[in-house]
Amino acid sequence: MPKLKDAELIADKARESISDFCINECHAFCCRKGYIMVRLHQLNQMTTKEKREILEKEGNIKELFYSGKFQVDFTNSLGGCPALKDNKCTIHKNPERPEVCHEFPIFILGDKIKISKKCPANQNNKFYPFIKQFQELGYELI
Ligand code: SF4
Ligand code: SF4
């Protein structure tokens, strides 16, 4: 579907355009607050044995029964996601990185585009030129 491919390219460019802002101004808010749901192979990429032991001891990794998923809470003594270092994701290029990490803060949902309102880059209108491009393709911003 060419329209989707175009939208994915715009979304990738938009996410890339904020990388300096993410590191230097936002200080990786999305990797430090809240939680993430991941599968075992993703969890293994995100954490070392030592860090995982710390998180397990603190109760900040919970296995969700029968789902094959784990919830990792970012309010922990490591200061956020175990893969975060100096406000950068250490597994950024790893294909096993959780899908949501690749997508956040822009989600393509059918004919609609959702950009997280919690993301300071969005709050600071950093995506304005890209929103116009999505709209030109026929996407609705929700
Ligand atoms: S919350 Fe938004 S601006 Fe902050 S690090 Fe995440 S994507 Fe970047
Ligand atoms: S894996 Fe990387 S992008 Fe995902 S929450 Fe952790 S540090 Fe952030």
Model pLDDT, residue 1:
56
pLDDT tens digits for range 54-101: 999 999 999 998 888 999 999 999 999 999 999 999 999 999 999 999
pLDDT number for residue 140? 96
For the chain, percent of residues with pLDDT exceeding 90: 95
Residue 18 Cβ contacting ligand 1 at under 6 Å = yes
Q: Is there an atom of ligand 1 within 6 Å of 120 CB?
A: yes
3-state secondary structure of 90: coil
Q: Give the mean pLDDT of 35-44.
A: 96
Tell me the average pLDDT across 14-37.
97
Ligand nearest to the CA of 25: 1
Three-state DSSP at 120 gives: helix
Encoded amino acid at 11, one letter: A
Report how far ligand 1's centroid is from the alpha carbon of 96 (Å).
20
Atom 4 of ligand 2 has which residue's CA nearest to it?
Answer: 101
Q: For ligand 1, atom 8, which residue shows the shortest CA distance? A: 22
Tell me how crowded residue 129 is: count the other CB atoms within 10 A of its CB. 12
What residue segments make up the domains of the chain, in order of their start? Answer: 2-141
28 and 22 Cβ atoms separated by less than 8 Å: yes
Per-residue pLDDT at 94: 94
Give this prediction's pTM. Answer: 0.92
Q: Is 2's pLDDT higher than 80?
A: no
Ligand 2 is surrounded, with C-beta below 6 A, by: 31, 36, 46, 81, 83-84, 89, 91, 97-98, 101
Q: Single out the residue of 139, 102, 103, 126 nearest to residue 21, CA to CA.
A: 126
